[in-house]
Amino acid sequence: MTETVHPVTDEWAKRAFVDNARYEEMYQRSVADPDGFWAEQAKSLDWIKPFTKVKNTSFDAPDVSIKWFEDGELNVSANCTDRHLATRGDQTAILWEPDDPLTEGRTITYRELHENVCRLANVLKSHGVQKGDRVTIYMPMIPEVAYAMLACARIGAIHSVVFAGFSAEALAGRIEDCRSGYVITADEGRRGGRTVPLKVNTDEAVTIAEAAGARVNHVIVVKHTGADVAMKDGRDVWYHEVIDGTSADCPAEPMNAEDPLFILYTSGSTGKPKGVLHTTGGYLLYASMTHRMVFDYHDGDIYWCAADVGWVTGHSYIVYGPLANGALSVMFEGVPTWPTPSRIWEVVDKHKINILYTAPTALRALMGAGDDHVTKTSRASLRLLGSVGEPINPEAWEWYYRVVGDSRCPIVDTWWQTETGGIMITPLPGATALKAGSATRPFFGVKPALVDADGKFIEGAGSGNLVITDSWPGQMRSVYGDHERFVQTYFSAYAGLYFTGDGCRRDEDGYYWITGRVDDVINVSGHRMGTAEVESALVAHPKVSEAAVVGYPHDIKGQGIYAYVTLMVGEEPSDELQKELKQWVRKEIGPIAQPDLIHFTPGLPKTRSGKIMRRILRKVAANEFDTLGDTSTLADPGVVNDLVEARKNNG
Ligand code: 6R9
């Protein structure tokens, strides 16, 4: 496909906070004088005690240390609620669109949000939650999830939101890892017309976590579907009962800018998810500033980020960024394809959405359903479109641009990670000419670079591994409870540089094109999945001897999960066993981790030192048999032929 460039329109250059001249000027300043630049930007937040220091960071292992505004004090929940009361108390903060389009939605004003947050904060306190305690949030996409996050922030508790699609086992691991003494959940969740047994999963998770030495003191349960669920005396309480009669007066705790705000678990190259730790001041500044400038959010705009709060996108761009900016944030409980593939566009029309932020996997699924589902809706309110989570292929980009946006709306393809806290490489709608499939240029203060395998910088146009050479305020500070792992994971591949794990090309115009992960992380429907995690789930099955998991190209999901499985001696491959193993992984981790293909094989290609050659497994899974590369170091080269034959027969 030839590269088309979509220039910035005059209208956008005029309307936007940042046009191209301003981008150049601000970007230069942000990297030449980070202290001055960020001190000025930080005025957008309400500080309880002003900071005198701005940036104090080092990427040098083993003493990696990242501090921003380290002597300042503020409270995130006060920034997201209290300070808006005088000017926009009656404005909608959260507009909730339920799963079922035939049921009633809800609107929550900033005043109501503030009240609900304060009440829940008082409830948490009365149940013994103190500053620094960890609170696990396992909730559907309902306004109460935002109350819960902000209530934690209000009293200085650290929240750990676990995606409601994760299994009881996965939830247990996350409760246990951060020794979380409290869980906030709901009776059930709803998604695409089905219910998710959140309380049942929570009960099971608490049992598993407590068997491993954790202790859960209290579980707060929101009544959402009204399902009949068991409540354990002395431990479980109903949200509506404890909120009732609780005071809405709860002063916000003054927090140091570097006090932890939240932990969010994410998959890495090893089997165990990492607790990515974000702190207070730098995170909120970065989330709110990127939200304002990337989406060019002006007062009165109707903004919808269609992610789930269980992921970082939901944290930064449904809750913290928009609410800090006093925005109207739409929260959607459902899925894009239910009840019909028109749902997203119907919601756009219903609420007159101006800014829509979604993921390529959703777009590809909707694209496959046919243009009629889109074109029968108006979408006239749309002004700006966003994409996040994985590389967007040029075909999907052009479809989004042409069919969804009627060739009228710029697309911001935003590259970032759980670890980065906010958007890092992205167009700005009033400043950046767009190229389909490119995340374009760095945001303010972000210094990307490309390195080759030896860590040598690649100058000008070229491809390499994407690193960031200096700190930005939204950067993660540590892996919870394991700073060494933080240093090891991100700062040891290339001395003095933050390694993203992504491959990338830079073109002649200095535009960045992310090509995907270069480590053992795969991106399934925009969700990060460590192959090692799926492997350890598989080998935990009594009939499995060995497993190797790789990603392979998948039309809708971007990458699918391909599992090579070797069975225990005496076990025979069968369709039933295939189904059983898929089900097993669902239960161990969650539906998103379920392998798409299971390839039973008597052996895996290994080096003489016993290392599985994943490079070859990836090629075979991708049907790229002609480019298998060097197989001479294999202990038994014959294994590869068998795999290739089996793959061909699998279709
Ligand atoms: C925000 C989020 C991070 C990984 C990241 C990269 C991929 C995200 C992307 C993108 C190409 C984009 N990724 N956005 N790749 N273009 N616009 O998704 O965080 O779940 O931690 O995933 O997702 O591979 O390294 P997270």
Reported as a single tens digit per residue, the pLDDT across 388-409 is 999 999 999 999 999 999 999 9
Report which ligand 1 atom has the smallest distance to the Cα of 266: 21
**Percent above pLDDT 70 for the chain:** 100
Ligand-binding annotation for 595, yes or no, is no
Closest residue to atom 11 of ligand 1, CA basis: 391
Q: What is the mean pLDDT of residues 226-255?
A: 98
Which of 363, 360, 327, 329 minimizes the C-alpha distance to 344? 363
| Residue 283 or residue 517, greater confidence | 283
Q: What is the mean pLDDT of residues 526-551?
A: 93
For residue 630, the one-letter residue type is D
Evaluate: CB of 312 within 6 angstroms of ligand 1: yes
Proportion of the chain in helix, strand, coil states, percent, rounded to 5: 35, 25, 40
Cβ–Cβ < 8 Å for 412, 426: yes
For the stretch 458-517, pLDDT in tens is 999 999 999 999 999 999 999 999 999 999 999 999 999 999 999 999 999 999 999 999
Mutate to test the pocket of ligand 1, among 283, 290, 514, 525 (most ligand atoms within 8 A of CB): 514
Which of 609, 507, 596, 611 minimizes the C-alpha distance to 554? 596
Domains (range + CATH), the chain: 5-443+455-505 (3.40.50.12780), 525-646 (3.30.300.30)
What count of other Cβ atoms lies within 10 Å of the Cβ of residue 444? 22
Cβ–Cβ < 8 Å for 219, 237: yes
Is the model's pLDDT at 271 over the cut of 80? no
Q: Which band of pLDDT confidence, cut at 50, 70 and 90, is reported for residue 606?
A: confident
Ligand-binding annotation for 422, yes or no, is no
Report which ligand 1 atom has the smallest distance to the Cα of 516: 24
From the number of C-beta atoms within 10 Å of its C-beta (0-12, 13-18, 19+), residue 579 rates as exposed
Residue matched to tokens 């937040």: 45
Alpha carbons 371 and 383: distance in angstroms, whole number: 19
Ligand 1: centre distance to CA 416 (Å): 5
For the stretch 565-596, pLDDT in tens is 999 999 999 999 999 999 999 999 999 999 99
Tokens representing 428? 């700005």
Which residues, other chains included, contact 442 with Cβ-Cβ below 8 Å and sequence gap of 6+? 27, 424, 425, 448, 512
SS3 110: helix
Is the model's pLDDT at 1 over the cut of 70? no
Closest residue to atom 3 of ligand 1, CA basis: 417
Q: Which band of pLDDT confidence, cut at 50, 70 and 90, is reported for residue 281?
A: very high
Give how far Cα 591 sits from Cα of 58, 226, 595, 596, Å: 39, 24, 9, 11
Ligand-binding annotation for 119, yes or no, is no
For the stretch 197-209, pLDDT in tens is 999 999 999 999 9
Evaluate: CB of 528 within 6 angstroms of ligand 1: yes
For the stretch 436-447, pLDDT in tens is 999 999 999 999
Ligand 1: centre distance to CA 5 (Å): 23
For the stretch 404-443, pLDDT in tens is 999 999 999 999 999 999 999 999 999 999 999 999 999 9
Is the model's pLDDT at 613 over the cut of 90? no
Residue matched to tokens 């998810």: 273
Is the model's pLDDT at 609 over the cut of 80? no
Evaluate: CB of 266 within 6 angstroms of ligand 1: yes
pLDDT at 635: 82
Strands 194-196, 189-191: pairing kind:
antiparallel
Which of 422, 116, 399, 462 minimizes the C-alpha distance to 284? 422
For the stretch 297-335, pLDDT in tens is 999 999 999 999 999 999 999 999 999 999 999 999 999
H runs (alpha helix) in 589-635: 614-621
Q: What is the greatest pairwise CA distance in the chain?
A: 73
Evaluate: CB of 308 within 6 angstroms of ligand 1: no
pLDDT at 620: 95
For the stretch 544-563, pLDDT in tens is 999 999 999 999 999 999 99
Ligand 1: centre distance to CA 432 (Å): 20
pLDDT at 651: 54
Evaluate: CB of 616 within 6 angstroms of ligand 1: no
pLDDT at 2: 60
ipTM of the complex model: 1.00
Cβ–Cβ < 8 Å for 560, 596: yes
Which of 458, 446, 454 minimizes the C-alpha distance to 417? 446
Q: What is the mean pLDDT of residues 98-117?
A: 98
Closest residue to atom 22 of ligand 1, CA basis: 417
Which residues, other chains included, contact 520 with Cβ-Cβ below 8 Å and sequence gap of 6+? 269, 530, 531, 532, 614
Ligand 1: centre distance to CA 581 (Å): 28
Tokens representing 22? 């301003």
pLDDT at 634: 83
Which of 534, 572, 553 minimizes the C-alpha distance to 620? 553
Ligand-binding annotation for 584, yes or no, is no
SS3 265: strand
